[in-house]
Structure formats: C-alpha cells, structure tokens
Structure 1
C-alpha cells in the first residue's frame, strides 16, 4: 500500500557541514569575496543556523550572503515594506504608495535602469513587491531604508540545491513532495459503514466524530483549502459533491499557481479535500469530517514543498483571496517550508486579521529527520499547528510526523498495522490512504467546521476555545503536543 505523506525528508539533512569544518573556516572569507557564494555554501549556512539555533531568517545574514542567494535564485527579490513590522496591509497603510515609490526610485538609482525593467509585481493587498536586482550595492541600500520590513530571495531553490550537494539527502531515498495518484483496497478493519453506503474512517471513530454528527455536519460553514488543487476525475469532489446525505452546499475551485488551472496535478490536495469534506455518499467510499460544509479549494503550488517563487506567490494570493472572502471562516494548508517566507507570512497575517481560523501542518518527514521542529507557517502564532499521532495516544507522534512546543492539536492517524486514514482517491470510484501531519491538519479543520456550524454566531476565538476545552490535556498544554486529541462529541455539545 502506497501512502502519500508530507515528505520533507530530502530537505532536512542538517549535518552536511561539521563543527570542525566551521571552526576551520575563515570568518573573513565572505567579506573579502567578490563573487557570489556558491549554492553549496549558502545551504551549509542555512543548515547550520537551523541546527544550532532552531531557525533561519534571511534578515540575520550579511548583505553579501543575501545577495549571493538572490544571484543564485534568478536575481528575484521579495521586498516587504511598511512604517512598522506590522504594517503589511495596504488598506490600513495610508502612505503605502509613497513608500513604494521611494523603494522603486532607490532601486532605479542603484541599478541604473527604470522600474519597468525590474518590477515584477506589486501586490494589491499587501505592502510587498517582487523585483529583479543585479547589484549587491542595491541590497545594501535597501536594507538601510527605514521603511523596509524584509528583503529576501524570491526564488532561491534551497531544497533542489540540498538534493544536489548533500550526500545524506541523496541517500535518504525520499523526495515525493507529498504527491501520489495511487489507489488502494481498504482493509475492512479500517472503516465502519454508515447510511447511505459511506465508509467512516477508523480515525473518525477515535475522535467521536460519528456521534458528533447527531449535533452538527458542518452545514453553513465554508472552509478554504490551500493545496495542490482537487482532481477533476473525482466526481464526489465535483459534480456529485451533494451526494447521499450531503446536500445544499457548494465546492468551488481556483488556480493561482502558474496560471494552469485548478486541477490537482499532484494528488495531495484531493486527499485533503476528501478527509475534510467528502460527501456522506452512496458510492461505498470514505466520508469527510464536515460532510455538509462548503469548500473553496485553491491550487496554489505544484507540491507540498513551497520552493519556487510561483508557489510562494500562489500561496500568498490564496491567503489574501480567502481573507477577503467573507463567507470563509476556516483555512487549512498542509504545505510549508523549513524557514519563514516573508510574503507568505504577510498573507497569513492578512487572513488572520480578517477573523479566519487557520490550520497548518506541523511537518512530516522520514524518521531520521524527525528531530526537526514545527515547520513554517505552522510555526506562526496566527496559525494552529497540527500533527499526527498513533492510534490510542495523544503524545506518540506518527512515524513521519513532527512535534514541538508550537503544536496546538493532535489527530490520531496511524494504526499499529501502519495503515493511515482512508480517503477518496484521485480517480472516480476509488479509495486510498493518506497519513502524516497533512491529514491530521485537514481533519482538524473539518472538526472546526462542525463546532462553528453548531454555533454559527461564535467568533474564531470562541470556536478555538471550545476545541481546546474538549481536548486531552486541557487546561494544561503538553510541551510537544499542545492540547492533544479533540473529543469532537464534547466539542459540539
């Protein structure tokens, strides 16, 4: 049985540069270097920061290091500006046009060319620009400006370079980036049947979700899914979204990645949509947690690893679009990066400021990289970080799941047999399994929809507090697993 998981193993090998090598490195080498650092040198620095400090941020690096990564990343730069670190929203930033013009003029002066030749994009909702820059001196000038919040490489391919230069990564044997189009015959012990002929995944029963359906099915609540899209070949997530006991709801699909449509070309997003909101169907296939909720699905990236400029822009756009959609209450994203991306951080904050309850995957990889903590953007305080745990536990992470102090909730998604959660396959009439923190996140977003549908007048904080109060460790918090598993029946009563 092939299980699609949120693989980041290829990208977390942080031992490529030994302590002895670092001690022997001349600290003045970078300052005297006239050419850009190599991709290998850049990745080694990033890895060492994550290994020693637990995180990496471009703002902590020198101008030369930053410019080197920009040079190695197609010269593309993401610039966040504002009068303060929290001044990211153009609608609340009356001086945004003057600040933008000042930045563009500074670049034009340093680069010796007009903005038409270097401006790639000016975001209409965020104080954020994408430009191309050739000179290190331009980076230095920008970072000295008072209205700059961040200057980052917009297209540096850390993961691709890690696969190229890190021998540990090469030998890890992983790198599916969460994609897969497999189907599986479900084991009879992994589900129970319900009317009309739908299959209830075993994990739902562990969280008392079937009993909770007597009180709420998610009707009237709209969930936004940011992922790789939804399969055009799965009718239960298309023309038959209102099938069986599911009725009166809608599914809408958008494509904001590379302008090539909304159709899932990875398989990951389809499975997330399934566990979240698949209909209580008459086709003998798995049902979703909130089987009467509305769903808006964005194809924002090629796969779950947010590597390229196109993917990062797609995710940013999805967050701002969903933030502006007054019908959306919940946003779920089971994708990420191992360090912060400024434009995505702005998008998350934009949606959060508009009252959205945001769930993000805490991270999934193979066992030898499980020491890596919670990934971005689940690491942000504006999001709820979710991870998967083994059946019957709330503090034993699944074999490929991450844990850490930033985790907020857990979801049981791995059995002793190794089987994970039954879901709809990419293909019509077929089922599959899916695991990792990805499925835990999508399921928890569905749980939130049940709680909000039961209490439609509640705010985000009221819904979140009810979920916490219904979880394993409340009123305390486990140091690595947050509030633990949610008893969904208790959460909707």
Structure 2
C-alpha cells in the first residue's frame, strides 16, 4: 500500500516540474559515504567506552555508509504502532495477525517507492526481499540514503541495521582478533595422565569434571531424557562418538540429530552448507556436553545420556557475518520450536549486538528454553572488553571460565557484571584445559576459553533437569544459582560463582 507521506512528496515533485516547461525535478541529494575506517573507529570507541555498541545510536548517514561498505542488506525490525509494554518491549508477537501484516507490507511498499525515485528501473526483485516467517523483521537491499532516513523515522520500525557490515579490528598488543579463532580440534597426544581419570567401562573423565563436582552427580543423574540444543559450527561426520557410537558403553537409549542453517555462499539462492563441522569448535563443544561414556578410551561428556540436537549456525566462533547472523537466528527459532529441547548452548558470539539475533533469542526464551552463552574468549581484548553478545542479554545465562584456585579468570576469558556462573577449566601452573572429542578418533583433544565453560554449564543443567523433569526453566536455574559457591552474594565479575553439579542435582 502507498504511504500518504510518500505520495505527498511525489506530488510536490510533480507539481514543481509542471510549473515551468524548462524546469527539472529536483534530484535526491548525493553524498559520499562515511569511510569504513571512521565507522570502525566509532564502533571500537563505543565498545571501549561503554562495553557495547548499538546501530540505533548512530546517524542515518553512518547506517547508509555501512550498507555501502557491506552487502547493502538492511534488516528492518517492525511492529504495529503502540504494541509495546511498559518496559518498551513488544507485548505480543504474531506476525500473522492483520495489524502486523499491514505494517510489513507498508514498509515494503514505501521502500519500493523511495528506491524507484533514484532508479526508475528498480523492481521488487532488486530488493532481494526476505520476510521472516516467524520473527518480526524484513531484509532488503537498500543503497539509498533517503530510504534509510525514511525507514528509521517510522514509528513502526524498531530497528534498521546493516546485515553484512564487518569491523576490521586493529592489531592490539601484537594480536588481531580473528573470526577463525577456535577453529582447530586435533587430537592432543601430550595430555598428562594427571589431567584425566580412567573410568569404567573404558572412558576418560577430564580433570575439570571433578573440579566442578560432575562425577559425583552421576550417581543421581546422567542427563537421560533431556534434549540439549547446540548452536555452533556443526559436528564432524568422522567422529564416531557423535555419530554411530553415540549410544555406546554406559550411554544408551538416546539420539543425536544434526542440521545446518549456515550458508557460506554469497549467492542468495544457495542452500545451507549442511550439518558437518569444518571448523572443529562445534565437535569439541558437543563432546564436552554429551560425549558417550564409552569403552574406547575417549573422553566422556558431562551429560552422557542426554539427547543432542546440533545445528550448524556459523562457519566459525564469531557471529559477525550476515550469513552467520541469519544462520544463528534461524537455528534459535528451530530449536525454540522443538518440544524435546530444553537447553540451548551457544559457545559463540560477537562483541556487539545484532537485533535480528536478539529477536531470535527472545523467541526461544519465550518458549521456555534455558539458554547458555559464552561470556567471551579473546587474547588482547580480555584486558578491556566485558561480556559479549548474546551472553550480555537478560534472556541468556552468561558463563565464563576460571582457574583452579581462587577467582582468577582464565587467561583468555572475559568477565563482568553480566556473568552469571563460572566453571573451573584452566589448571594452575600448566594452564592445561579440559578434554573433549577431536574431529575423529578416540584420542581426546583439549579445549579452553569460555566456550568449554559454557558447554560444561549446559551439561550440568541437563543433569539437574533430568533429576527433576517436571521443573520449569526458572526452577532448574534457581537450583544452579543456590548451589553455586558465591550465593547468596553476587560478584560484579563472576556472578553467582562456580557451579557445583552434584549439589545442584541433589538440592
């Protein structure tokens, strides 16, 4: 449908042109985009000063410039006017309702009208339009500054963000933040025997399972009947313990399902890559949470009788590319809709938020899912940056890793006021990390950072829920909170403190 405001603008242009045969209709103002380096400096400065960055806080010109420097895809979150509660959030989301449909159609029509002003040959096919079937957002190709200004001025637009813009972070203290960090998971043949215990029927229990009192919890719960959803880089098809041997040894009667929503291709018509792990990170996290208690000498997972639903949402551990944001958002909706999944684990994130992914987190949360997210893992950034997104959201449980004794975060782990729990995952002196499954074979790998802490916490939650299957998410979380070692106090850096699996299961 046509917007009255747009119609008036077009009418004014037409009337002006008709007043004089020799006059020319005024052209839309042209200007150069803000440089990418200036945009990056703005983002980094906000992160350093405020521990967050939000596209909603910058100018129309910067949004437009980021589109030009990226893939020109604008994500537009919409809502009917006056559909918010007293806290400013959407009171009820149902994009099939007539009021929601009208708003989305109006935004699309208005965008088409504006974009045709600057290019008469522009068609709806050029929009490359995507209207999400569940979440309240639209994505379209936008390269017009006037279109950005108008869309952001609408009361029915909650946000308008460039999807594919990526920050070129500078080298800091000799190291660069690399989106491929975490993408290695080879067998570790140098693991000292003091870092694991051989347990029946022939598995290895990582040292950190004892440090977090997981082994003592197994006499009461092994996670049976609870589904854990993992959003990560997928699962290796060559790791038998996450495929054909998922039920082996003391692990039985459970299932592993694998899906893929991440698309690496730049072509808009490309299909998802599939569920297989090309990075290694997802395989390691799956092993920490749910590897079988087998008889082949491999490492055992925290909840070795839990069900596992793995969804490949990313190509690496940072949700910074447009395809990764889309993959993660779709993964959250998918897992949110599965009644067998109680817990979602996300050992992935980014330094600044994305509203589309945030919408998806809230969608899954609204369906009762207990969502764990990594507080952050980096090198030189650890000295100044706090908890990353989406762990920074109120709907997620933020987890970080600490050393064996005292409250000292691991060398590459983030901390801050948004942290809810800690997991012991780095040895004093040696700085050795927990055991997990490698991409193939029975020889364990080792994995560190807040990633392994998050996967461990998700596994502990499965133990608690399996012992108390009738409980709600909030009741399970309350058990974990009340048995953490700092409760009833809350640290400004480490939340409620270190999880005690056995205490939480039996509380």
The 1:110/1:324 distance shift into structure 2, 3 A limit, reads: same
1:435 aligns with 2:448: yes
Of residues 276, 280, 301, the one that matches 1:267 is 280
* Residue 115 (structure 1) shift: 2.6
Of residues 293, 300, 303, the one that matches 2:316 is 303
* Residue 52 (structure 1) shift: 1.9
Quote the residue 2:68 is aligned against.
Answer: 71
Distance, in Å, in 1 between the alignment partners of 2:39 and 2:231 is 30
Quote the residue 2:234 is aligned against.
Answer: 229
Distance, in Å, in 2 between the alignment partners of 1:190 and 1:302 is 30
Deviations 1:264-322 (A, max 9, x none): 00000000000000000101111000000000001111001112111100000000000
Distance, in Å, in 2 between the alignment partners of 1:55 and 1:41 is 17
Of residues 220, 223, 229, the one that matches 2:225 is 220
After TM superposition, which residue ranges in structure 1, 4 or more long, deviate above 4 angstroms? 91-94
List aligned pairs for 1:282-321, cutoff 5 A.
282-321=295-334
Of residues 124, 138, 145, the one that matches 2:154 is 145
Of residues 149, 159, 165, the one that matches 1:156 is 165
Distance, in Å, in 1 between the alignment partners of 2:228 and 2:95 is 25
Distance, in Å, in 1 between the alignment partners of 2:66 and 2:210 is 48
Distance, in Å, in 1 between the alignment partners of 2:92 and 2:312 is 24
Of residues 98, 101, 109, the one that matches 2:102 is 98
The 1:94/1:215 distance shift into structure 2, 3 A limit, reads: farther
State TM-score, norm by structure 2. 0.87
Distance, in Å, in 1 between the alignment partners of 2:91 and 2:34 is 32
The 1:108/1:91 distance shift into structure 2, 3 A limit, reads: closer
Does structure 1 conserve the Cα–Cα contact (< 8 Å) formed by 2:203 and 2:295?
A: yes
Quote the residue 1:172 is aligned against.
Answer: 175
List aligned pairs for 1:241-252, cutoff 5 A.
241-252=246-257
Does structure 1 conserve the Cα–Cα contact (< 8 Å) formed by 2:95 and 2:101?
A: no
Structure 2 residue runs without a partner (length 5+): 1-28, 117-121, 264-271
Distance, in Å, in 2 between the alignment partners of 1:230 and 1:254 is 9
Distance, in Å, in 1 between the alignment partners of 2:450 and 2:171 is 26
The 1:125/1:452 distance shift into structure 2, 3 A limit, reads: same
Quote the residue 1:43 is aligned against.
Answer: 40
1:205 aligns with 2:227: no
* Residue 174 (structure 1) shift: 5.7
Of residues 174, 191, 199, the one that matches 1:194 is 199
Of residues 180, 185, 188, the one that matches 1:181 is 185
Distance, in Å, in 1 between the alignment partners of 2:171 and 2:261 is 34
* Residue 479 (structure 1) shift: 1.0
* Residue 93 (structure 1) shift: 5.1
* Residue 486 (structure 1) shift: 1.3
SS in 2 for 1:172: coil
The 1:368/1:325 distance shift into structure 2, 3 A limit, reads: closer
* Residue 193 (structure 1) shift: 1.4
Distance, in Å, in 2 between the alignment partners of 1:240 and 1:107 is 53
* Residue 57 (structure 1) shift: 0.5
Of residues 140, 144, 148, the one that matches 1:135 is 144
The 1:216/1:91 distance shift into structure 2, 3 A limit, reads: farther
The 1:379/1:167 distance shift into structure 2, 3 A limit, reads: closer
* Residue 91 (structure 1) shift: 5.2
* Residue 334 (structure 1) shift: 0.6
Deviations 1:108-162 (A, max 9, x none): 010013333204311101011111001000000001111101000010011xx22
* Residue 88 (structure 1) shift: 7.5
The 1:433/1:454 distance shift into structure 2, 3 A limit, reads: same
Q: Which has the larger radius of gyration?
A: 2
Quote the residue 2:434 is aligned against.
Answer: 421
Distance, in Å, in 2 between the alignment partners of 1:418 and 1:238 is 31
The 1:452/1:139 distance shift into structure 2, 3 A limit, reads: same
Does structure 1 conserve the Cα–Cα contact (< 8 Å) formed by 2:232 and 2:312?
A: yes
Higher relative contact order structure (alpha carbons within 8 Å, sequence separation ≥ 6): 1
SS in 1 for 2:362: helix
* Residue 206 (structure 1) shift: 0.9
Distance, in Å, in 1 between the alignment partners of 2:50 and 2:176 is 27
* Residue 172 (structure 1) shift: 1.0
1:397 aligns with 2:397: no
The 1:48/1:261 distance shift into structure 2, 3 A limit, reads: same
Structure 1 residue runs without a partner (length 5+): 1-31
Distance, in Å, in 2 between the alignment partners of 1:407 and 1:173 is 24
Of residues 123, 127, 130, the one that matches 1:114 is 123
Does structure 1 conserve the Cα–Cα contact (< 8 Å) formed by 2:382 and 2:413?
A: no
